Every structure is written in structure tokens, then in C-alpha cells.
Amino acid sequence: MTDLPKIGKPATQALKQIGIFTLEDLRKIDLASLKKLHGVGPKAIGLLEEAMQKNKQHFADPIDLPVNVPFALLGDLSCDNAPKRRQVRDFIIGRTMQHRELMVKDLHEAVEFITLGEGSQTVDQLLARNTYADKKIASLTIQSVLSHGKEAAALSIITFMEGEQWFQSDFIEFSNQSKKGLIKKVISINK
């Protein structure tokens, strides 16, 4: 494992908050997301790019998303030929951003949200809850998305600027097994 170059305390701390401790860890993040991290300025970016090139390493490929995300994205983002994984990814990003259009684009009209400890909610109730209103999000890591048939499961981690992390597990049921199935039910466990 190759240590990160000396990029300054704020940039080093920002990377550590999202689980990047070595040069090899930088392969988990694309350059656009790296630039969104508070504390990682142009000088640090230049030093990281130089170190990556010197060690024949590459940042993650940029992910084509339907919206501009204001925080760093990491993890299981490229869905290749897996439409349901893409639907789950976009739902998680939309919910985290509180971006209604992205969140609902793949939802069944009779979708049901169940958050353990809070019961059943509608889309509007879920958005009105505004869970992160008093916190600034530094990054969203979609750790894993697994899908098979009518079901999917995902683990995501939200890291806030202050360093606090929230963990979210989602268990998702689609309306059918086809590639065009819509999200019909989401059971979430968070914190």
C-alpha cells in the first residue's frame, strides 16, 4: 500500500472521513467527486493526480448520472447492464439529495416505504421528514447493491462534514422480475 502524498491537514482529514487512507483507495473515487470534498483544494488535487500517475494508478471512471450531485459519490456506482441496480442507485442518491424527480422516477404508483421504528410512509412524508436538514453531506458511499428477480438490497453510508456517519440498509421489492420493473416497496433500516 502506498501512502498518500503530503496534501495538507484539511485534505487528508477529508479523505480519511470517507475511508481513503492510501493511494490505492483513491481508485474508489472519480476526480469530479474528489473535487467536491470540502478541504480538498486545487493544490491537493494536483498532488494526488501526480502521485496517481507516478504509481500508475487511476481514479474511478466518472459515472453518468441524470442530475448533478453536490457531494462526493463512492462505491458501487457503475451498473453496467443491470437496470435494477441503476434504479436502486438512483433512488438512494435521490433520497439522500432529497431530489424528488430522481427519487420517484422508478417508483411504482402504489409504492410503500417502511422505515423500521417509524412505520409506513408516502413519498411526500419521506421527503418532508428532511432527515439531513441540519447537516451538510460530504459524501455518499453506496457500499453494495445486490439484485435478483423481484428483489434487491443495498447498503449505503452517508458521511457528514463533521465526520459523523449514518448507515442505511434498504430491502427493495420490484413490481415484477422484468428489466422494466418499478420499485414497489422499500424497507429501510438506518443509523
- Strand 119-121 and strand 165-174: the pairing is unpaired
Question: Which residue range is the domain that position 39 belongs to?
Answer: 9-54
Tell me what pLDDT residue 111 has: 93
Burial 103-125 (b: 16+ CB within 10 A, else e): bbebbbeebebebeeeeebeeee
Dist. CA 180–CA 106, nearest whole Å: 9
Q: Are residues 142 and 172 in the same domain?
A: yes
Q: Are residues 93 and 175 in the same domain?
A: yes
CA distances 159 to 26, 132, 172, 191, Å, are: 17, 11, 23, 11
Tell me what pLDDT residue 64 has: 83
**Could you tell me which of 35, 24, 40 has the C-alpha nearest to residue 72?**
35
Main-chain dihedrals φ then ψ at residue 19, nearest 5 degrees:
85, 25
Q: Could you give the angle at the alpha carbon of 34 between the alpha carbons of 32 and 39, nearest 5°?
A: 130
Domain presence at residue 62: no
Per-residue pLDDT of the chain (191 residues; tens, 9 = 90+): 889 999 999 999 999 988 899 999 999 899 999 999 989 999 999 999 999 999 999 998 888 888 999 999 998 787 767 889 999 999 999 999 989 999 899 999 999 999 888 889 888 888 877 666 678 899 999 999 999 999 999 999 999 988 889 999 999 999 999 888 999 999 999 87
Number of domains in the chain: 2
Supply the pTM of this predicted model: 0.88
Residue found by looking up cell 430491502 in the block: 171
Q: Are residues 133 and 184 in the same domain?
A: yes
Tell me what pLDDT residue 68 has: 92
Tell me what pLDDT residue 55 has: 94
Q: Are residues 110 and 169 in the same domain?
A: yes
Q: Are residues 166 and 80 in the same domain?
A: yes
Domain presence at residue 59: no
Tell me what pLDDT residue 169 has: 97
Domain presence at residue 31: yes
Q: What CATH number does the domain containing 103 carry?
A: 3.10.450.50
Q: 118: which residues sit within 8 A by CB, 6+ positions away?
A: none
